[in-house]
Chain A
Amino acid sequence: MQDFLTLLHYPFMQRAIAAGVLMGLLCGFLGSFVALRQLSFFSHAVGHAALVGIAMGVLLQVEPTWTLLPFTLLFGVAVLYLIDQTDLWSDSILNIVLSGALAIGVILASFIKGYRGNLMGVLFGDILAVNLTDIGLTFLLLILSVSILLATLRQQILLTLNQAVAKVQGVSVQFHRYLFVVLLSLTVAVAIKAVGILLVNAFLVIPASTAKLLSHQFKPYLIGSVAIGAFSSVIGMIVSGSLNFPSGPSIVLVQFCLFLLVFGFTKLTASWIKL
């Protein structure tokens, strides 16, 4: 713990904690919709396809963020379009495009000469390496997502529950679906640098699922998911700093433990009620 307090004096640690909390808030917020709309495999595919975006950045010798963002955005929208245009199940489509993108990503990566550590880092991410641009982007996305989704909350819940009913009530279902996928793809892109391709989905899925176990009303569920997301990041960073664990996995471990704790708690209370 003393080590952690010393670490707090360093700007990189302050940035890491800010990034972790912002990401916890943003992913917890979007994740609450992802969990109910069954989009978790979608964000999983977008996350893996991001490898192409990063490899392109390295090959073109630009900051990977600026190839990653447009690539994931295009990829997300294109996948949704494909799902809408075929009779195939969405998980088949997602598997197809995920495999295709990974293949392209690995081939592109093979063209990268010399040091590939930068590229391999994207699998696991490094929250200690985030810069102010990354934090600014995350913050911007958080403000954008919260203001758009809260301003249209009634429509969002309705279209999550039943698209046909939402459409009859005049909700622009297609517009909102695409808008959400844009926000989700960009979120995956900004989160990858900090937590890596392999663990980004945990941020979207675990806090929301934990909140779903706890609450059977929408607003408490939404707030719970956001709070659990942010709380896990803070505790995860403390664990990481004190025990010298890698930070992304530490946060995910805290999310996972919280999930188990809540699961056990709900099981216990359910059996008490029966007694």
Chain B
Amino acid sequence: MTPDIPPQFDASIPVIKIDGLTVHRGRYAAVENVSFELMPGTSSAIVGPNGSGKSTLVQAILDLIPRTTGSVQIFGRPIRKLGTLRHDIGYMPQNFIFDRGFPISVTELVQLGWVKTERGMSRNAAITQALQRVNAAHLRHQAIGTLSGGELKRVLLAYCLVVPRRLLILDEAFAEVDVQGEADFYTLLDELRREESWTVLQVSHDLEMVGRHCDQVLCLNRSLVCSGQPEAALSPQNLLQTYGPAFSRYHHHH
């Protein structure tokens, strides 16, 4: 007899499964009839022009805004029935910190992500390790207000890393990071994926990085224009359809 595998750890169950998702912003359908699946250990990127509904899609997946129709399942369950499985999700929005004057130190910020788990480390050890992984151990006593944009993003990533997660959702999280920092980030994400089979879903503008580091691309322009492996999905025809003629012309000149 095979032992029962808890459904949340079954590698054949998609980490995210979306079926016919439509989301309205007011009377406007910002996301229309989107369906896709993300399997464990994969890295996917949502690409598309401004206003194409990328952030709306992410927010609807996380149940931060109501959806009009369609279903969303995370770890094989409706999001409202996740219970403590919520702690397996790391989410980094575009502007995590609205107020740079917020009185909080790097250590205190990373600590906010920590929850006690059976297999997890002690709190302080986990915080130290998370900060080391993003090369930010030396910042631990600093106030967040004194960090540069790139440093802040690294610290926020440490916030996501402080407990073992299975799904990381990044909404243009690297917007302010310099090129070297960005390369380090992708290397770390690849490592987390390989070694701990994290699933990564990110909203990105950087098609080159997406092509190099993602298994799956989802081109969004209110509805899903294309999806699949980067080489196929980022074909000129698909880009034309996603971004419109202006973008395509720009790329031909280079």
Interface residues on B, range: 20 to 34
Contact, CB under 8 Å: A165 / B108: no
Contact, CB under 8 Å: B86 / A218: no
Contact, CB under 8 Å: A157 / B62: no
CB-defined contacts of A165 to chain B, threshold 8 Å? 91-93, 96
Given contacts A217-B104, A218-B104, contact A164 B59 (CB under 8 A): yes
Residue of A nearest to B144 (CB): A216
Asked whether A154 is an interface residue with its Cβ less than 8 Å from the other chain, the reply is yes
Residues 141 to 190 of chain A near chain B (Cβ within 8 Å): 154, 157-158, 160-162, 164-165, 167-170
Given contacts A157-B112, A168-B89, A218-B108, contact A162 B96 (CB under 8 A): yes
CB-defined contacts of A36 to chain B, threshold 8 Å? 99, 102-103
Contact, CB under 8 Å: B103 / A216: yes
Residue of A nearest to B84 (CB): A170
Most chain B beta-carbon contacts within 10 A, residue among A162, A216, A218, A219: A216
Contact, CB under 8 Å: B143 / A216: yes
Residues 209 to 228 of chain A near chain B (Cβ within 8 Å): 211-212, 215-221
Checking A164, A170, A217, A219 against B86 with a beta-carbon cut-off of 8 angstroms, the contacting residue is A170
Contact, CB under 8 Å: B103 / A215: yes
C-alpha spacing A220/B143, complex, angstroms: 12
C-alpha spacing A32/B213, complex, angstroms: 43
Asked whether B24 is an interface residue with its Cβ less than 8 Å from the other chain, the reply is no
Asked whether B64 is an interface residue with its Cβ less than 8 Å from the other chain, the reply is yes
Residues 94 to 145 of chain B near chain A (Cβ within 8 Å): 96-99, 101-105, 108, 111-113, 143, 145
Checking A158, A170, A217, A221 against B112 with a beta-carbon cut-off of 8 angstroms, the contacting residue is A158
CB-defined contacts of B112 to chain A, threshold 8 Å? 154, 157-158, 161
CB-defined contacts of A169 to chain B, threshold 8 Å? 86-87, 91, 113
C-alpha spacing A219/B145, complex, angstroms: 16
CB-defined contacts of B89 to chain A, threshold 8 Å? 168
C-alpha spacing A169/B104, complex, angstroms: 19
